[in-house]
A and B are shown apart, each in its own frame.
Chain A
Amino acid sequence: MSYKIPMGPFHPALEEPYKLDLICEGETVSDAKLHIGFNFRGIEHLAETRNYIQVIALMERVCGICSNIHTLTLCQAMEGLTNLTPPPRARYIRVVVAELERLHSHVLWAGIAAKLMGFKTMFMTCFELREKVMDVLQAISGNRVNYSMNRIGGVNRDIEDPLAVLKMVEALEAEMARTVIPIFTTSTTARSRCAGIGVLTHEKAISCGVVGPVARSSGVPQDLRHDAPYAAYDEMEFNTPVEPDGDVRARLMVRALEIMESCRILRQALTKMPPGELHTGDAKFNFVTGTSTSRVEAPRGEVMYSVSWREGSRNPARVHVRTPTFVNMPAIRWMVLGARLADTPLIQASIDPCYSCTDR
């Protein structure tokens, strides 16, 4: 006999509200349906009522974890409509903040995954480390969540002493290499809870069009920082970790290795940061009529903004946001098929979902 178990919209295993209806045969999941929309705020419509300064502040609030990525992608799209190119120092600062954001996002996810594995000590360790990343972001921007770093044509704030930030990053890297990475990659607890569960096959990953670490842990070597470089990524040397197994452990491994690659990028960006201006100096912007599109590799994968403008207008005519979780979430249905009911909280969390981004 099959029966339905609803998980959510409010449930201890969920970071934010969404609903997963699990159809079970005994303890085994035979189908699942996802329901989103509990965080819908109509942000795309609101964007049409905001001017080019206000819309940046608005879009920073699409997501509480990767807020910087949204303003970066939006500003890159608006730079396409104003024919502005950010100066080299601004492009480096954009890389630094984007990688720090990836670090704190991945460590936050590691903590939540540890909690769902029943590995409470690791949860505390990860959140303590994440605080240190947040301290670096606060030292740079003055803020912990919405950093307000990006503007059209550059950045709002300088990193006055990159080498001081580098010291903080190196301390973080050492701590991660000493605790988080070895424990997640070698501990029996992590392995026994994660290996072989929530498998998304390579073929299904391609068919669903998943992005970011979810794609890379199913053997799809996709990373916009390499494939379509933006900011100063074309001047950085780094690897894109790829794992073939497609299970929760592969997603764990990819993110763990990405933490180390982010530290590598940060070291390069902070030591090679060129002197110069932070932005183009424009205070008023002349938008041309048309649409500009920008893509960025967020911690969860590809974010795409399409921004449309009519010349002479202060407000965008249309802002469309395609977030990574919007394409990764439907794949949860395939990951939980055949899984044990008890594993589903960890499986759904393994895509590092962001429902605020998804609903907008």
Chain B
Amino acid sequence: MTTLESIPEKLGSNQSWVEKGGVHWLEPGAMTVRELAQAMNELHARFITITAYQLPKQEGLRLEYHWDLDGQLLGFPFQLAGNSIDSIYDLCEAVDWIEREIHEGFAVDFLGREYEPLLLRQGDQIGVNLREEVKK
């Protein structure tokens, strides 16, 4: 069993875990989401989901990636500079539908993957469900 304390070093991070709201959080720092996904694969962690948030006052979007490691829920927040982030679909098959859903709901582009036809809605406009400016 991998101990939580040993993970930041393996990830090349100098941050430490913060337990809050039922999740062990680790700021990814300079680590990219693809490096994170690779590291989680090596730890045999189970991918759970990505939660997207549109931050207030046009501060952009935050994506929280969650993995399960031996019953412990791990969380890694990524602040998006624009509307895009690298896809990890080629590294983690389980991410397929949630990337598609966030693409449709929040108009986030996951770079490096192709999208199949729409997952959750009819029409041809992305970001229609949960993105504030499109909702209006």
Contacts and interface: CB of A to CB of B under 8 A. Distances in A.
Contacts of A293: 21-23, 66, 73, 75
A359 B120 contact: yes
Interface in B23-72: 23, 46-49, 51-53, 64, 66, 68, 70-72
Q: Majority SS of interface residues in chain A?
A: mixed
Interface stretch (B8-16, B78-86, B89-97): B89-97
B136 interface: no
Interface string A19-59: 00000000000000101110010101100000000000000
A37 B119 contact: yes
Contact of A304 (B48, B70, B93, B117): B48
A81 B22 CA distance: 10
Contact of B48 (A80, A226, A302, A330): A302
A295 B130 contact: no
Interface residues of B, number: 36
B22 to A, nearest CB: 5
Interface centre among B20, B53, B96, B120 (most CB of A within 10 A): B120
Interface of B: 20-23, 46-49, 51-53, 64, 66, 68, 70-73, 75, 92-94, 96-98, 105, 116-122, 129-130, 135
A326 B119 CA distance: 11
A36 B49 contact: no
A40 B120 contact: yes
A290 to B, nearest CB: 6
Interface in A265-312: 290-295, 302, 304, 306, 308
A228 interface: yes
25 contacts: A37-B122, A42-B129, A44-B105, A45-B130, A45-B135, A77-B22, A207-B93, A207-B94, A208-B93, A209-B47, A209-B92, A209-B94, A224-B71, A227-B70, A228-B71, A290-B20, A292-B21, A293-B22, A293-B66, A293-B73, A294-B22, A322-B48, A322-B49, A327-B94, A329-B97
